[in-house]
Amino acid sequence: MKKVIRLTESELIGVVKQIINEEPTGPSTQGQINKLIITEGNKVKEYYKKHYSKPEIIKKFKKQSNINIIKNYIPTIKYKLFSEKSGKNGFVNKNIVGIINLNINNLFIKAGNKILLKGTLLYDTILHEMAHLIDFKMTQLGEKSIASSTGYYGVTGGQDEYVQSDVETFARIQRLREVLGLNPNANGNEIKNKLIQFINTKKLVFPGVKIKSIDTSTGLLFTPLQQSKGQLSSLWGFYSPIKINGTSAPDISALFGKFSSKKTNGSVYLDLDTIGRVNVTTKQLDNK
């Protein structure tokens, strides 16, 4: 078995320069990285094209002509690579149309002469960032963006604002919907049933935590090994050990943190009913 290692910083910087300058790198890094990005990116594009073809989504648009604009926009989205040592897997800029920036330092590993994916992280990152671009495009077209939503706790600045962000909530809900295989209008009970299914089949692993109660249709009650503070960022940290299909899911962890609360006995309550309502109202028609 070939030893799996991370790309060194110099290798990563070299790859970025070679791709930006379109310099040949032989049969190795550049071609492999490009192929992986295109392959995973095309899967995401197909997912969104199908998603925006569903009747439940189409009827949420104020103008039906905007549906085709969105579906024609999705294939034009491109990628730009960067390298930095941080937790940032990717990002988009609202003022730069149709570009997803991908951090190759986090998304790939090297095994001998081969470049490999780190689980589903590349796909997950593209899906999340593409949701932002679609959101921005729809807002430009005059479609209503996500309904304002708040968690149980007020923001105190810093990471709390990031967890609370409605723009991020929209993208996180797209990820939750895709990874669990939810229908566009899934309510809290449907989300709960899917989560329990994923937990029972080990598709979702939440180490050191157990479900304390599922006797409610509105959410799940978890008992942590360590106490969690009430701040949004602390609750995000509580959910951060979660892995879905073997890959970390920080955006879904942040979504759960936003809609959770700490009980007096130290348990953490995840309000899936509220998540379901946000899911339903996403891009809802503004009939006022």
22 pLDDT band, cuts 50/70/90, is very low
Give the up-direction half-sphere exposure of residue 54: CA atoms within 13 A in the CB hemisphere. Answer: 13
pLDDT band of 225, cuts 50, 70, 90: low
Identify the band that residue 106 occupies on the pLDDT scale cut at 50, 70 and 90.
very high
Share above pLDDT 90 across residues of the chain, in percent, rounded to a whole number: 47
Tens of pLDDT, residue by residue over 109-155, are 988 888 999 999 999 999 999 999 999 998 899 887 666 677 667 67
The mean predicted confidence, pLDDT, of the chain is 83
Q: Give the CA distances from residue 209 to residues 169, 248, 268, in Å, rounded to whole numbers and listed in that order.
A: 24, 16, 10
Of 74, 70, 265, 60, residue with least CA distance to 145: 60
Indicate the SS3 state at residue 82. Answer: strand
Over residues 169-177, the mean pLDDT reads 92
Angle at 143 between CA 138 and CA 146, to 5 degrees: 85
CA separation for the pair 76, 60 (Å, rounded): 23
- Which pLDDT band, with edges at 50, 70 and 90, does 166 fall under? confident
Single-letter code of the amino acid located at 93 = N
Q: How far is CA 69 from CA 60, 137, 225, in A?
A: 15, 9, 49
Judge contact between 187 and 276, C-beta under 8 A: yes
Domain map (residue ranges) of the chain? 4-140, 159-281
| pLDDT bucket at 203, cuts 50 / 70 / 90 | very high
- pLDDT value for 21: 39
More confident call, 223 vs 13: 223
Q: What is the pLDDT of residue 117?
A: 93
- Which pLDDT score, from 0 to 100, does residue 147 have? 63
Q: How many CB atoms lie within 10 A of CB 161?
A: 13
What dihedral angle (degrees, nearest 10) is formed by the CA atoms of 81, 85, 91, 96?
A: -60
Contacts of 100 (CB under 8 A, 6+ apart): 41, 77, 78, 79, 80, 90, 92, 126, 129, 130, 133
Direct distance between the N- and C-terminal alpha carbons of the chain, in angstroms, rounded to an integer: 62
Please give the Cα distance from 133 to 144 (Å, whole number): 15
Count CB neighbours of 75 within 10 A.
Answer: 11
Pair 105, 7: CB distance under 8 Å: yes
CA atoms 206, 207, 209, 215: torsion sign: positive
